[in-house]
Amino acid sequence: MTVIAIVDYGMGNYHSVERALRHVAPEAEVRLTGDAAVIRHADRVVLPGQGAMADCMRTLEEAGLREVVLSVSQNKPLLGVCVGEQMLFARSEEGDTDCLNRLPGEVLHFAGAAFEASAGHERLKIPHMGWNGVRQTQSHPLWAGIADNAPFYFVHSYHVVVADPSVSVGEADYGYPFTCAVARDNIFAVQFHPEKSAQDGLRLYRNFVDWNP
């Protein structure tokens, strides 16, 4: 039986992710766990996250899970969700926080003219919240059965800026185009919430269950 570990370090939308995975993969054993040994021996790992980056990195460290996440990110199928995507990069300007440094780039706040009030212009609100189409900028097995520009649900004030364009596999627009899905080797990660994104989100989770990088 395939074991899917959802990393529980105290800062994530864990139960929604767990319910979605149990729904799409009834044949798998889905474990919501803060046990490093369970995560290390799982077949697949999901790293969710929400809240402030400094708090996420601190609680991951305090839970004793930083090293096991780094370890499994080297060789197991790993899905990062929301702040779990951001944590995989080198640094976030949110709290000037060092992250896991598994992917090249940084995490920046939405900024620029689109977010500033001016005559004849209504500024975009932060956080970016709601449904937004996702352009599939590169093909990937996790996009299987999902139409290009399909809508997914977002809630975030920061976004990743990749240092290597080959890592970006999906983009959305909010004030300007930003990377919202990344992939390299055994890692796939998204800024949006698949568990809140209806059938396309469930399909992405099922694709992750079936993925053999």
Those residues with Cβ within 8 angstroms of residue 127's Cβ, 6 or more apart along the chain or in another chain: 155, 156, 157
Catalytically annotated residue among 82, 99, 140, 156: 82
Give the range of the structural domain holding residue 57, as residue numbers without chain letter.
Answer: 3-210
> CB count, 10 Å around CB of 21?
26
Whichever domain contains 50, its CATH number is 3.40.50.880
Question: Cα–chain-centroid distance for residue 181?
Answer: 7
| Tens digit of each residue's pLDDT (9 = 90 or more) over 65-79 | 999 999 999 999 999
The model carries a pTM of: 0.96
**Catalytic (active site) residue 195:** yes
**Catalytic (active site) residue 193:** yes
**Catalytic (active site) residue 180:** no
Total number of domains constituting the chain: 1
Catalytically annotated residue among 128, 140, 159, 193: 193
| Tens digit of each residue's pLDDT (9 = 90 or more) over 21-53 | 999 999 999 999 999 999 999 999 999 999 999
